[in-house]
Structure 1
Amino acid sequence: MRAPELDILVPTCDRPVELATTLAGLAAQRHPFGVVLSDQSRGRPSYDTPAARTMLRALRAAGHRVRVGQHLPRRGLAEHRAALLAHSRARYVLFLDDDVWLEPGTVGRLHEAIATLGCGLVGAAVQGLSYLDDVRPEELAPFERWTGRPEPERVEPGTPAWDRWTLHNAANPAHLARRHLRPGERWVPYKIAWVGGCVLYDRPVLEACGGFGFWSDLPPSHCGEDVLAQLRVLAEAGGAGILPSGACHLEAPTTVPDRTVEAMDVVGSAS
Structure 2
Amino acid sequence: MTESNDEPVPARRWSGDWTTEAPPPPPRLEVLIPTIGRTSELAVTLAGLAAQDEPAFDVIVSDQSELFTSASEPSVQAMVRVLRAQGHGVELVHRPERRGLAEQRQFLLERSSAPAVLFLDDDVWTEPGLLERLLDALETLGCGFVGSAVQGLSYLEDRRPHEATTFEPWPGPVIPESVRPGRPEHDRWPLHNAANLAHIAGTLGVERDGWLAYKVAWVGACVLYDREALIEVGGFDFWTGLPPSHSGEDVAAQWRVMERFGGAGIVPSGAVHLEAPTTIVDRTVDAARALFAAAGSAGSSAASSVGSSAGPKGQTDSSSP
TM range (shorter): over 0.9
Which of 42, 45, 50 is the aligned partner of 1:22?
45
| Aligned match of 2:113 | 89
Identity of aligned residues (%): 57
| Aligned match of 2:298 | 270
What amino acid is the match of 2:120?
L
Q: CA deviation at 1:221?
A: 0.5
Seen in structure 2, the aligned counterparts of structure 1 residues 156 and 64 have a Cα distance that, compared at 3 Å, is: same
Higher relative contact order (CA 8 A, sep 6+): 1
Q: CA deviation at 1:195?
A: 0.3
SS at match of 1:174: helix
| Aligned match of 2:31 | 8
| Aligned match of 1:242 | 266
Whole-angstrom distance in 2 between the partners of 1:97 and 1:182: 26
Seen in structure 2, the aligned counterparts of structure 1 residues 44 and 68 have a Cα distance that, compared at 3 Å, is: closer
| Aligned match of 2:240 | 216
Larger Rg: 1 or 2?
2
Structure 1 residues 14-53: aligned runs within 5 Å: 14-31=37-54, 32-53=56-77
SS at match of 2:91: strand
Q: Which moved more, 1:101-110 or 1:171-180?
A: 171-180
- Contact 2:249 2:288 (8 Å CA) reproduced: yes
Structure 1 residues 179-194: aligned runs within 5 Å: 179-183=203-207, 186-194=210-218
Structure 1 residues 172-183: aligned runs within 5 Å: 172-183=196-207
Q: If the length of structure 2 is used for normalisation, what is the TM-score?
A: 0.82
| Aligned match of 1:225 | 249
SS at match of 1:107: helix
Equivalent pairs counted in the alignment come to 271
Structure 1 residues 200-215: aligned runs within 5 Å: 200-215=224-239
- Contact 2:129 2:209 (8 Å CA) reproduced: no
Q: CA deviation at 1:48?
A: 2.2
Q: If the length of structure 1 is used for normalisation, what is the TM-score?
A: 0.97
Q: CA deviation at 1:72?
A: 2.8
| Aligned match of 1:127 | 151
Unaligned ranges ≥5, structure 2: 1-22, 300-321
Whole-angstrom distance in 2 between the partners of 1:51 and 1:36: 17
- Contact 1:19 1:47 (8 Å CA) reproduced: no
SS at match of 1:68: strand
Whole-angstrom distance in 2 between the partners of 1:225 and 1:181: 34
Unaligned ranges ≥5, structure 1: none
